[in-house]
Amino acid sequence: MKTKLIDKLQLTGKGVISIIGAGGKTSLMFQLAKELENSGKSVLTTTTTKIFMPTLKQSPLTIIENSIDELVKKSKGLLKSSFQFSAGQKYNPITEKLEGFTPDCIDKLWQTSLFDWIIVEADGARQKPIKATGSHEPAIPKVTTHLILVAGLDALDKPLDETFVHRAEIFSRNTGLPRGETLDELSIAKCIAFEIKKAGHLAHSLSNSVLLNKADSPDQIKSGEKIAKLLQTNKTIHRIITASLIDKFPVKNSLTPK
């Protein structure tokens, strides 16, 4: 399918996108930023947690600014020449990570109406393909209009442990799958259903989507479709996309729950 992700996710007009979950959040953030910029929109990419410092390919410029007021001043000048850039509050040279803003700061930034879109990586997963959230997670701004939960299909057939699942004990408790057992489509679908419901209580977004990433083979595409069907009666989810973000045309399949 050669459909753009922004079309499948129905990202029209303006809004705040919060990306949660695991298995491709950062890749998705910059893919969406690129597509939105190419459609003529101004885009800020940022985080409420920590991300690796964006590369020049991901973002032409990254601003480090502790003050939202100062960030707004700098952004006004930059938007005259660039439609997409990133921002964070602090850079840690030891971890090579960009530390982001609080959800309240994102709320304040959105109220300036400076950007058409703000894309927020609002969850941490320690580079695992799938995760369950702790009591303090995810860190979603209240102004979120579009919520996207990412899950990596490469978690399938792996054991339920901390090597492959961030917060494995919580995942086990939420899904009923014992520690050490093999992750299958049903357990991943149960995890997604739990997490999207929890996130929905934190931000009353207009659109809740699930992106099943790393559908890099025919078998993984089929597994993505199976998970989507398991979620098709979930009224909290508006659309489920099976995708491979490393592909030029990432969308492999999509389903709209009934």
Helix (H) or strand (E) holding 52, with range, is strand 50-52
Supply the pLDDT for residue 241: 98
Task: Give me the chain's average pLDDT, please.
Answer: 95
Question: Cα(127)–Cα(258) distance, rounded to whole angstroms?
Answer: 32
From CA 174, how far away is CA 188, in angstroms rounded? Answer: 11
In this structure, what DSSP letter does residue 9 have?
T
pLDDT digit string, tens, across residues 93-118: 999 999 999 999 999 999 999 999 99
Integer CA distances (angstroms), 250 to 14, 115, 199, 228, in order: 23, 26, 25, 16
Token pair, residue 44, equals: 């800020």
Residue 232 placed within a domain = yes
Residue 1 pLDDT exceeds 70: no
**Over the Cα atoms of the chain, what is R_g?**
17
Question: Which residue type sits at 245?
Answer: L
Is residue 65 in some structural domain? no
Structural domain contains residue 64: no
pLDDT at 168: 98
Phi then psi for 120, rounded to 5 degrees?
-120, 125
The yes-or-no verdict on residue 48 having pLDDT over 80 is yes
Count of the separate structural domains present in the chain: 1
Q: Is the pLDDT of residue 211 over 60?
A: yes
Q: Which domain holds residue 162?
A: 5-48+118-255
List the one residue out of 194, 193, 172 whose CA is nearest residue 183.
Answer: 172
Q: Which residues contact 129 (CB under 8 A, 6 or more apart)?
A: 22, 23, 151, 152, 153, 154, 155, 158, 164, 165, 214
**pLDDT at residue 218, rounded to an integer:** 97
Given a contact cutoff of 8 angstroms between Cβ atoms, the answer to whether 209 and 6 are in contact is no
Residue 150 lies in a domain: yes
The CATH number that applies at residue 244 is 3.40.50
Sign, Cα dihedral of 48, 51, 53, 57: negative
- Rounded Cα distance, 45 and 119, in Å: 5
Residue 179's pLDDT is 97
Q: And the tokens for 239? A: 């659309």
Q: Which residues contact 111 (CB under 8 A, 6 or more apart)?
A: 143
Q: Give the residue from 204, 257, 6, 18 showing the smallest Cα distance to 118.
A: 18
Query: What is the structure's pLDDT at 258?
Result: 75
Residue 146: strand, helix, or coil:
strand
Reported as a pLDDT band with limits 50, 70 and 90, residue 29 is very high
